[in-house]
Amino acid sequence: MLFLYYVGFAITLAVAGPFLLLKRKARAGLWQKLGFIPPQQKGSSAAPALKQGGIWFHAVSVGEFNAVKPLIEKVHGEHPDIPLYVSTTTATGQALAQEKVGGFATVFYFPFDLPFATGAWLQALKPSLVAVVETELWPGFVDQCHKSGIKIMTVNGRMSPKSFRTYHRLRFFFKEALLKLDCLCVQSIGEQERFVSIAGTNDLRVVVTGNMKLDGLSTISDTAARQLRSELNLNADDFVIVAGSTHEGEESAAIDAFAELSSLWRERGHQCQPRLIIAPRHPERFQRACDIVQSKGFSAKRFSLNEKFERDNDIYILDGLGQLMKYYSLASLAFVGGSLAPIGGHSLLEPYAYGVPAICGPHTYKTRDIARALNELGALSQVQTAPELTRKIEQFYLNPSSIKECGQKGKSWIEENQGAVARTLACVMQLYDTTSGASAGTTGSTARESIGLLR
């Protein structure tokens, strides 16, 4: 079965390769993805070879890296002698990983799931443990780790209902890979049940550790927020809408809502002037967002040009990586993208870390459990269409007390449910110790029992 998988993967790569090479994003890190190790990581006259036997964390892109970053930092802080390796698939994830952990971890692109590519990196790193973030289940890579005696686990494991349907249809294939995992640290009971259903057995080694994204929400201080507000020329009583992680169609929806709110502000002489900040999800859409702003008769001010609000019709485009969390500190209200567009929704947690309530569209299957929890608290507002988004924003604008109430509910829930990083760290270190003998050697079975794996 695995042989057929490799053949199919290779054929797909050969057919799609020429087309993918035309795209800049697909070319990023291509040699590393094919298993070529950079000289500075192999060891050369200019640089010593990297240390082997450490922990390899794999995070696909920005969202996954942001989730695992506090865990990586915690491992490094408490165990600075353990070599750390961080791989990503996307260029945006790679850039963020290099910036945030490149000073103490080896950062590289995850190889294609073919024996020569994954094998080259496993041989170069010889990791004691591989920790895969969320749902990246590569059967060939898992098999190679298993056969090499390398422990492999998931952290912050997640499986949306949509992903579950796909995996369940192919469970005859993915079951084998799941059972080769030494541990699955998952976000919720719902995730646990979905993974167990695919494996078809309660013997799957699963522990519910919670969602590490709740721990990784590092907010800026009130002083820093006031400084940022001053830099953008925002007044303390401005009604700031931050539209975060937007996709095609969502910038237009946010701008239309802003236009209606601005008309309402002028008609009623309301003291709180509306302001709009838009943060497109992908860098290649930064210019597109500016073009949409201009086409609707507004003026685009850009983060990358150090611009600020000057006139009533200015809209600010946050065209920089890793900035959105900080800018939620300015928000009176947030719209979280990827939810009106059928993407599945992006992080709903970041605005609530500042006590800012969020509005999202109907497509939240990627953040289903968090959306459900916030909905049950009465903290989250979901709309079905762009006109509904406009109406909901106007309701909040005219009823400021509801903003504070919803935002505080979400912030309190986050504070009550933090601690996933510490629970996951315990699992990681126990598995690492059983492989490396780095500390007072527990056996594999003892480690599993002490982790409290659910069966």
Q: What is the set of active-site residues? A: 64
CA atoms of 400 and 432, how far apart (whole Å): 50
Residue 327 near residue 308 (C-beta atoms within 8 A): no
Q: Which amino acid is at 418?
A: Q
DSSP 3-state assignment of 329?
helix
Cα-based angle 152, 153, 158 (whole degrees, multiple of 5): 145
CA atoms of 53 and 127, how far apart (whole Å): 4
Structure tokens at 16: 């799609």
Residue 430 near residue 450 (C-beta atoms within 8 A): yes
DSSP 3-state assignment of 158?
coil
37: which residues sit within 8 A by CB, 6+ positions away? 120, 121, 124
HEC profile of 28-90: CCHHHHCCCCCHHHHCCCCCCCCCCCCEEEECCCHHHHHHHHHHHHHHHHHCCCCCEEEEECC
Question: How many C-beta atoms lie closer than 10 Å to residue 88's C-beta?
Answer: 27
> What's the chain's Rg over C-alpha atoms?
23
Structure tokens at 163: 């992903």
Distances (CA, A) of 351 to 240, 408, 411, 438: 12, 11, 9, 40
Helices (H), 88-133: 91-101, 115-125
Structure tokens at 407: 């935002």
128: which residues sit within 8 A by CB, 6+ positions away? 53, 54, 55, 150, 151, 432, 435, 436, 438
CA atoms of 3 and 122, how far apart (whole Å): 19
Strand order in the sheet with 299-302: 299-302, 314-317, 274-280, 239-246, 333-336, 358-360, 381-382
